[in-house]
Structure formats: structure tokens, C-alpha cells
Amino acid sequence: MKTTIAIDPGASGGIAVATSDGVQTFNMPREHADIIALLREHKTADAVAWIEEVPKFCGKALPASSIFVMAQNHGVIIGAVLALGYELRRVRPQEWQAIIGSSKKAHGSGWKRFLKARAQEIFPALDVTLATADALLILDHARRVK
């Protein structure tokens, strides 16, 4: 089994790592050096990294400071993934969310809780948090499109 890493690059995002031993989750490290160390630690010869694309604009729902941190993390992660020799896959939120079976509009402010509950259904043996739910759902998407 290929090592697959799924990444939600937000400041309160997370990383999910799937290997032949199972799935592990990590909250997004605050320091860029710690992000790189985590990616290095899980690199294997056949590793694939799936990273969520960041929004190209700042809307009412996301403060500019959150977009800035997400964009910084995204750049660091892309650079580290390429430097470490991962196969890189990028995924838009609309792509991985399409398989969820609902929409942000239907859940309003409860959307993140809905995503967490959905990730918990798919990965019942894990302790899913709001920080790791998106990464796990990106991982599920990666498994489905292989």
C-alpha cells in the first residue's frame, strides 16, 4: 500500500497519514519546521501527498488573517512535498466535498460539525476532531479516485 498523506493546510487544519499499518491524524503544526519534519517522518518511496487548494479570494466567512496563514502553510507544504520527493496531488474543496452527500448551504454554521460527523462515520476507529476531519475526508476522496 502506498503511503498517502492528506492535508488541510489551514491554521486549524490537520494531516491524515494512511500506511499499511493504518491511519494516523495530526493537528496542523504551528511552526513550518514542524510541518516539514512531520512530512519527512512519513515519507516513503511511493508516498503521495494530497493537499487541499486554498481559496483565491477572501470572503465574509474567512478573515484575511486565516487566509494568510493557510496560504503560507500551503506554500511551505507544496515546497516540502516537492523537495522530499512526494507525488503531489492537489484537490479543490468542491471536489472532495462532492462525495459527502450534502452541502455547506444545507448546514450553515453547522457545516464543520457535519464534516466531523461524516469523517467519524468513515473512520470509526479514530478520534476525529474538527482539526482533522477535513484531512480525513480528503484522504477518503484520495482512496476513491485512485
CATH at 32: 3.30.420.10
pLDDT in tens, 21-77: 999 999 999 999 999 999 999 999 999 999 999 876 666 666 677 778 888 999 999
pLDDT in tens, 23-37: 999 999 999 999 999
**Residue 4 neighbours by CB under 8 Å, 6+ apart:** 17, 18, 47, 48, 49, 50, 139, 142, 143
Q: Give the count of alpha carbons within 13 A of 99, CB side only.
A: 18
Q: The pTM is what?
A: 0.92
Q: Which domain holds residue 48?
A: 4-145
Instruction: Output the CA angle 18-41-90, nearest 5 degrees.
Output: 55
Q: Quick one: cell of 16?
A: 491524515
pLDDT in tens, 126-138: 999 999 999 999 9
Q: Domains in the chain: how many in total?
A: 1
Give me the pLDDT at residue 107, please: 75
Spacing of C-alpha 88 from chain mean position: 13
What value does the mean pLDDT of the chain take? 91
